A and B are shown apart, each in its own frame.
Chain A
């Protein structure tokens, strides 16, 4: 019997993508469909004095024009946020369409629905909005100052919350006694996700059945349905079906419940016709939730021999104009709890201020809090090693949590499940030949060349999360995952998963699990995701949770199928249940050659003429899996860069990634995830960054201005693994979607600073563009 788990099976979903037969939301055309175009605020902050829609309404082909007031008068509620960070968190309403004030460039102010996209767009130009432009603030450190323009009147100093974790007194005391303190001021710049498929949504209301179908490019259709039905529109959940078909990348940006999903749903209910909206890329730049945007002061104290004593981190996090779905949790629980990294910290204290500004809302972007934490820590580790005159690898090794210390409780509330940090560092150093590069670096310096070596040792908490923990930290949702397995009478299998694939290859990975679990070929397993009408319930995909939580749910359902199959096999084979074992993909009477396959058992289950007394016919099982802990992937990345002193351009000479994501189901897919993550993390280090002018205009509002990594910007990555299985889920898996992004930003930044540190340069703010690096080198 083939062992599919662990093999690099070609992806089942690829045939449709390579032949142009995928179905993304914008590909869907429904009879009698209309098109929505959204009029958006050109100002970062303004009062809406009046909106004149009559000219737009008179435009040929226009079906309707709606304003925020129309939605409000019809009882449409503001968009909710899903994560309450503190009891006193200020949570101002987020209207679906602005009513009297706009708070960022891109805030929706009116909706034009027409017979064609072109007519809707033409008519949108005719909507006249009288604005009284108000002063705006875009920088969170300025927004909390007294006298700064207020984004929401109910949030003084633009503060939504102040969150803290760890023992402040003990940390302060330890730092006061430290022989050496390393201090860094870090700007983790704002990023714009740029999934290649722009967001799209279609509302399709059927008046006679009173049923609404929402097609949306979302990472979690069930959550969208729940939020929209229960909080925003107040319509019954069982009358709403949300379908997220093929989705062209998400990286976090498609987790959230967006205004446009409500706009097309509500409009379709009003008009009794399907309404489609698809973002133009410039709208994506303005309205997809952005990522990162932290200002941090971090201090780490050490004793004389380089043993870490304490870490104190103060972060100001820019939340943008409104609280997006998971906004509060990203710079707090998904950030502060990760600040122990791979190291033994006796004391840690972290404080985060969540601040409103007149900018696009900020929420999870690949890694979501964990790259920010890793960046703080790993920049500190390199800087401290340099200040102490130690090798950065040696300094890390000295402070690692040892492999025999697991499960390990950190001072920031996490209990790491398993790890071997020394193991991955060792492997990465060997792969890159660390010693040789240190020698090369010394030689190069003598020749006036600038070579730098960067190390990044990271920890990730993924597989979110035990629902009990989620509740305790303010998540307004459970974070289990659902799965259902239907064995058809002929022995083929359909798997329904609450996880959602938007590039991750679930249709293959999950099929491999079920194939091994039930003794069939993956060709006989179909994985269905992204449809609330078919799947029992699901929390969707983010935080590298699909396999650890969704895969575990599938495995639990496999076990239930196996249990029932065993009863049927025992009856058919006239053996005791205790004597039936699942071996080589069959149900076998122990020690004999008498056996049944899944197909034989399934047929019996659906044609139960000769069947165990009291057992229900059919072969279908549901499972909801709630994890008992997060999982903690880890690893070490090492890069070597060379900087051209004349231009400041950074060239990556080598990039080695050694990751430990626990057991691996499909190595090819895991490596692909790492590659993609590296591209995004390196993108942040070297090129990417959102820039607003002081009036709140997004200057990097197109692909011409915002530097997404291209094929010839990136090196060939050398990817390897160690395997430390997760001890608390049935597959022993940890999660692989974000490791690359989490580790690589700090890895590259460390390499760049390492290349120029002998020139007295301690830090260069990201992105490390040629201009910035050149200025640092030349002191200009």
Chain B
């Protein structure tokens, strides 16, 4: 039943045997114990499980672990380089872009990919880009501010 996979997560290569039905998010959380990536829904709406797969923001509940074979994954735990917070992480902190923190890793990973594609976005573009990430706490206002601030500090 098991399939062997080799996946690089946050720069570390892992080899594992997984059931074909195991989702990437389950692999990250339950096998690698990287619990910063969260599961908020079962219909790929909420975006709490967003990670980067070969640099592209991906809802890790929409992908099987076996599909990640040979890929490079970045999760929220891998975003801070050598302990220095990424500008997005700093901006979320400074602008109060989070409350309960549950959606936050997914929102940050989506924003990371978005800012790569659009380094100087308008408020409207940010709101549109984050349509796939639900937040029930913040009303999004400070998330939008944080993404804008991160864009400015990265440019």
Contacts and interface: CB of A to CB of B under 8 A. Distances in A.
B127 A503 contact: no
13 contacts: A19-B76, A20-B76, A24-B35, A197-B102, A246-B101, A249-B100, A672-B137, A672-B142, A704-B45, A711-B128, A711-B143, A714-B141, A717-B139
Contacts of A609: none
A680 B134 CA distance: 12
A201 to B, nearest CB: 16
A200 to B, nearest CB: 10
Interface string A661-695: 00000001101100111111000000000000000
Interface stretch (B52-60, B64-72, B91-99): B91-99
How extensive is the interface on chain A, given as a class?
35 or more
A73 interface: no
B96 A676 contact: no
| Chain B residues touching A, majority SS | loop
Contact of B139 (A23, A504, A676, A703): A676
A18 B108 contact: yes
Given A710-B131, A714-B139, A14 B92 contact: yes
Interface string B94-138: 101011111111001000000000000001101110110111111
A19 B89 contact: yes
B136 to A, nearest CB: 5
Residue of B45, B105, B131, B139 with highest tally of chain A CB at under 10 A: B139
Nearest to B94: A10
Contacts of B154: none
Sort A-B residue pairs by CB-CB distance and give the 8 closest, nearest first. Answer: A20-B36, A17-B101, A248-B102, A503-B100, A20-B76, A675-B139, A503-B99, A679-B139
Given A20-B37, A24-B38, A703-B45, A195 B130 contact: no
Nearest to A666: B96
A530 to B, nearest CB: 13
A29 B35 CA distance: 10
B63 interface: no
B45 A248 contact: no
Contacts of B37: 20
Interface of B: 19, 21, 29-30, 33-43, 45-46, 48, 75-77, 79-80, 85, 89, 92-94, 96, 98-105, 108, 123-124, 126-128, 130-131, 133-144
Contact of B75 (A20, A676, A716): A20
Given A678-B139, A716-B141, A196 B127 contact: no
B100 to A, nearest CB: 3
A24 B102 contact: yes
A740 B43 CA distance: 29
A395 B147 CA distance: 42
A11 B134 contact: no
Contacts of A678: 139
Contacts of B21: 118
Given A27-B29, A196-B137, A711-B128, 5 more contacts: A14-B98, A23-B35, A196-B46, A248-B38, A675-B141
Contacts of A247: 100
Contacts of B108: 18
Contacts of A436: none
Contacts of A16: 101
A717 B124 CA distance: 14
A248 B99 CA distance: 9
A14 B35 contact: no
A251 B135 CA distance: 13
A22 B37 CA distance: 10
Contacts of A21: 36, 77
Contacts of B104: 17-18
Contacts of B141: 675, 714, 716-717
B138 A676 contact: yes
Contact of B128 (A19, A29, A196, A712): A712
Contacts of B38: 24, 196-197, 248
Contacts of B29: 27
A668 B96 contact: yes
